């Protein structure tokens, strides 16, 4: 039978199918590239405040560090207290063990990426290892936008484009605790429970220079 017969329709090459599908691999659904990291945290663009509040209330332990290394650079950026410190660049692998955390991580990935493969990370048993590269000033750590994220689960390995919400999930505990404190203070001031001068003219956005100072280098 001829390859050009009507019973054997032509099929577009795989490369063309990938183009038509806007990419074969995982792609970012909601780009936050136009937002600096402080804005992402304090506008809660990753929708993680309630999850961090729950972790705090349940005394959930931090994610276990499987391996980690960092190097101090000559570049200086303000830390969370506004003091200039050398920027550290590093990378590490972090274990997400509890099913509750794995469910929330899966939800975050599904909301922020398209074309994700089946990762099988939400079962009753198992764990997830996430490898990222980061930069840090003081105690505030952020994911690097120029290095991919690797997710390992149940013997499979998946490489994803870097997304700031992955870093917020892994490293955001201190920043979101501070955000919660500022929100509660603002609400108390609005109810007249604390003097108006307590926060001055500060708002959640205004305190970011002190709380999560510095943008990614």
pLDDT digits (tens, 9 = 90+) for 100-146: 999 999 999 999 999 998 888 877 778 899 999 998 877 788 899 89
Task: Name the band, by pLDDT with cuts 50, 70 and 90, for residue 187.
Answer: confident
Mean residue pLDDT across the chain? 78
Q: Where are the domains of the chain?
A: 29-211
The pTM score is 0.73
| HSE of 19, CA atoms in CB hemisphere, 13 A | 5
User: How many Cβ atoms are within 10 Å of 139's Cβ, its own excluded?
Assistant: 12
* DSSP three-state, residue 124: coil
Q: Per-residue b/e over 100-128, b at no fewer than 16 CB within 10 Å?
A: ebbebbbebbeebbeebeebebeeeeebb
Q: How far apart are the first and last CA of the chain?
A: 61
């Amino acid at each position: 039978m001829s390859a050009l017969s009507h019973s054997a329709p032509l099929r577009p090459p795989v490369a063309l199918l990938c183009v038509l599908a806007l990419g074969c691999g995982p792609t970012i659904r909601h780009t936050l590239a136009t937002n600096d990291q402080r804005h992402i945290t304090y506008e809660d663009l990753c929708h993680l405040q309630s999850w961090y509040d729950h972790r705090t209330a349940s005394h959930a332990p931090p994610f276990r560090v499987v391996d980690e290394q960092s190097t101090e650079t000559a570049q200086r950026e303000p830390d969370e207290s506004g003091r200039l410190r050398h920027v550290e660049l590093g990378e590490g692998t972090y274990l997400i063990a509890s099913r509750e955390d794995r469910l929330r991580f899966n939800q975050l990935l599904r909301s922020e990426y398209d074309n994700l493969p089946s990762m099988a990370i939400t079962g009753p048993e198992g764990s997830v290892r996430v490898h990222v590269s980061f930069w840090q000033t003081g105690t505030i750590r952020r994911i690097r936008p120029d290095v991919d994220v690797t997710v390992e689960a149940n013997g499979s390995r998946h490489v994803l484009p870097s997304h700031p919400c992955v870093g917020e999930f892994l490293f955001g505990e201190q920043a979101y605790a501070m955000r919660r404190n500022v929100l509660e203070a603002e609400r108390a001031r609005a109810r007249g429970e604390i003097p108006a001068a307590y926060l001055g003219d500060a708002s959640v956005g205004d305190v970011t220079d002190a709380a999560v100072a510095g943008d990614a280098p």
